[in-house]
Amino acid sequence: MTSEAPATSAYAQLEAQWRRLSLVGDAIGALHWDQSVMTPPGGAAARAEQIATLKVLRHEMITESRIGDLLEQGVPELAATTGERGAGEGRWRAANVDEMRRRWVHATAVPSDLVDAMSRAGSHCETLWRDARAKSDFESVRPALEEVLTLTKSIAEAKSAALGCGAYDALLDSYEPGGRSANIDVIFDEYAAFLPGFLDDVLSRQDNAPTPLAPTGPFPAEKQRALCRRMAEAVGFNFDEGRLDESLHPFSTGTPEDSRITTRYEKDDYAFALMGVLHETGHAMYERGRPAAWRHQPVGDARGMTLHESQSLIVEMQACRSRPFYEWAAPVLRDAFGGSGSTWSAENLYRRAIRVERGFIRVDADEVTYPAHVILRYRLERAMLAGDLSLRDLPGAWNDGLQALLNITPPDDRRGCLQDIHWYDGAWGYFPTYTLGAMAAAQFFETASAQNPDIVDGLRRGDFSPLMTWLGNNVHSQASVTSTDGVIEAATGRPLDDAAFKRHLRTRYLEN
């Protein structure tokens, strides 16, 4: 809390309430981590009950009748006590009230019983999804997913009326404040048109070059874990204030003082776990870099998932799949697994890291084809929410869509519509931020590298501090004081577009 106003002022009361809300949210996050990492199968129902109860409590706290009145009082109060809206502390307080109001509108649009039902349905469906995915049995989880979708539609309709936008955009706004599908359609349609010819050129170039050698396993989980810890530490992750654990789907959660990242170890390929950790470390560094003075206030939170994904992808894709990075990392990888020979050379490992192929799995996809996976999910979830696609037809629609985008068809649902956790645990409207984040990452890295050449030189010696300093100053520290485009434009000189991303792809895959 930063208030200099009297403790009884409307604004001070709002800050106090949002601090409590933030702490309850931290507790929910810890329980979600436990649910994914530590909870035994028999404890799933109890953990779901606890999470649902806390979500309802949080919802009731934000929808208290007095909150709307305090928000109305807080705006003129701030104008009288902090002076010019655009100056210093006043700017942050005004943005704090704006973000409080946005969250209040989202919350008051949805009744508590619907919040409770959605939490329980998501927890139940996610539990069933884990087994269904392993067995490639979509039908076994479809009834539970039907319930999640029905509840999601109800939430979308309620928020749509409150926000004055379309149902899909109302869900998108929860993850990307101010994001609109009309803008996304333009970006995604342009990339879908760009991809076929570009992908053909990349694959043709690959076919005319020696195939990178694949290091042979097995790679013991213990050695992978040690390597992942070392790489996370190089980026800046502090294990005195964080943990690395295992989960079916890699994720990052926790608080700046207690970061939790997870990954999954594959015995025949260390790269999955390593890149997963680097990706999640990028997320954690963003959380750790948020301004301490505004902790537990909405304005101090990360500014939506586009920027969050940009911070994970600038580490994983822009930095850690670059040739300079492998000049440092190759000896580290070789020593970690006792490798030798040309397979473990920097150039071979780099070429393997940027290998492009038409694959079925989003989380394994290269950065050229990855946007196609996101475009597919974006189009499908919009169709399901609009009622234009039934869940019974989802597997076939998924397969047809991937065939159209990448000219491949999944052989089973495990490698098709069952591969992601998001829909099954209730995260609808999230997927577009992955590719928007990739484009933002390219724009940030291009600008940062031009402003400070030591960023790229630092990667050659395993020193991420020049990059992290730039990100801290230009992204992390800005939190939610302005919009996503506001952060991007202030850092790079222009709003988000796909130009830097396409330049990056052409340079890395056709010219380098």
DSSP string, 267-280: TTBHHHHHHHHHHH
Tell me the residue type at 254.
G
How far, CA to CA in Å, does 204 sit from each of 240, 297, 303, 368, 394?
A: 47, 51, 39, 14, 33
Report the run of H or E that residue 263 belongs to, with start and end.
strand 258-263
Helix (H, G, I), strand (E, B) or coil at 329: helix
Among 126, 176, 280, 316, the active-site one is 280
Rg over alpha carbons for the chain, rounded to the nearest Å, is 23
Tell me the residue type at 507.
T
Distance CA 356, CA 198 (A): 11
User: In degrees rounded to 5, what are phi and psi of residue 242?
Assistant: -170, 170
Give the Cβ contact number of residue 249 at 10 Å: 18
Both tokens assigned to 131:
């087994």
Closest listed residue to residue 97, CA positions, set 163, 9, 173: 9
How far, CA to CA in Å, does 465 sit from each of 72, 138, 335?
A: 43, 45, 24
Strand-pair category, 242-246 with 252-255: unpaired
Q: How many CA atoms lie within 13 A of 147 on its CB side?
A: 16
Instruction: Identify whether the C-beta of residue 90 lies closer than 8 Å to the C-beta of residue 82.
Output: yes
Distance CA 16, CA 296 (A): 9
Distance CA 385, CA 376 (A): 14
Instruction: Identify whether the C-beta of residue 156 lies closer than 8 Å to the C-beta of residue 148.
Output: no
**Dihedral, CA atoms, 488, 492, 497, 501, nearest 10 degrees?**
-110
Task: Please work out, in degrees rounded to the nearest 5, the angle formed at the alpha carbon of residue 25 by the alpha carbons of 422 and 1.
Answer: 135
Contacts of 407 (CB under 8 A, 6+ apart): 358
Whether 280 is catalytic is: yes
DSSP string, 89-108: HHHHHHHHHHHHHHHHHHHH
Distance CA 430, CA 374 (A): 10
Both tokens assigned to 460:
């050659």
| Residue indicated by tokens 């997870």 | 262
Distance CA 418, CA 248 (A): 13
Catalytic residues: 280
